[in-house]
Amino acid sequence: MIREMSVAGSFYPARAVELERYFEHFSATYDKDNTLPEIKSRVVIVPHAGYIYSGYSANIAYRLLQKSGVKKFLVIGPSHRVGFEGISLGDFSSYETPFGKISASLDLVKELSDTFLLSCYRNAHFEHSTEVQFPFIKHYIEDACIVELVYSHMKPSNLSKIIDFALSHADVGVIISTDLSHFHTQKEALKIDNICVEAIVDTDIQKLHNGCEACGIIGVEAMLLSAKKATLVPHLLDYRTSADASGDESRVVGYVSVCYEE
């Protein structure tokens, strides 16, 4: 079964040529004032809003993943439409993107299903937090294969066990999807999001619960737990809000991208 696109044409362009222009623009804008870090990373935290707002931040992380040599990824995001207990393991054979299909990593799907007794709630997979990552993956790592995991109500410690399991495979990477605070003023958002960003950079779970409003806070906490265990070193790649694109500072959304070095 193919996981069809559900937010193409809204969160990101439905045509490959338009996507190419986005990625070229993001990279050229970044390269004007920055040099891509010399970090080998197979683990990132990335945002999931419309590309016009958060694509620049995510693009930096995917350029680093491209250099990792890893071809197999867990894509983990929160459910925005459907509430349920636990986490849903996508049982699709492939994932549609404007650049063509991404194959599912069927061996890893089976391993995760057998080890953690996971099943698929199909309705949970009409989900933008994971889907907006797929065009980036297909563009930057053309022969990648993926596993899609969408979580709702669950303990971060349980999700962390899945991340640990993935990272125990040297050929598997992890993509954690989250946006930060929603619909505060720019001034308020900067204050709130700074809590999240500091918690991630300091691998400080207590700080994360001192006001962070990330929609994917369960995934972030799970990643911090796994980073502590594996002694991964976080590197902040970018932070911005929707005001950077829209100019409207009255109701903004925050975005962050981070990579982890082993």
Neighbours of 193 (CB within 10 A): 26
Burial 156-176 (b: 16+ CB within 10 A, else e): beebbbbbebbbeeeebbbbb
Tokens linked to 103: 């194959």
Q: Is the pTM of this model over 0.95?
A: yes
Phi and psi for 230 in degrees, rounded to 5?
Answer: -95, 5
Residue type, 29: T
186 SS3 class: helix
Write the pLDDT tens digit of every residue in 138-158: 999 999 999 999 999 999 999
Q: How far apart are CA 177 and CA 75, in angstroms?
A: 8
Write the pLDDT tens digit of every residue in 9-67: 999 999 999 999 999 999 999 999 999 999 999 999 999 999 999 999 999 999 999 99
- 8 A C-beta contact, residue 77 and residue 127: yes
> What are the structural domains, with CATH classification, of the chain?
2-261 (3.40.830.10)
Write the pLDDT tens digit of every residue in 95-145: 999 999 999 999 999 999 999 999 999 999 999 999 999 999 999 999 999
- 8 A C-beta contact, residue 237 and residue 57: yes
Q: What is the DSSP string of 187-243?
A: HHHHHHHHHHHHHHHTT-HHHHTTT---TTHHHHHHHHHHHHHHTPEEEEEEEEETH
Q: Euclidean distance between the first and final Cα of the chain, in Å?
A: 35
Distance of CA 13 to the CA centre of its chain: 18
Residue type, 237: L
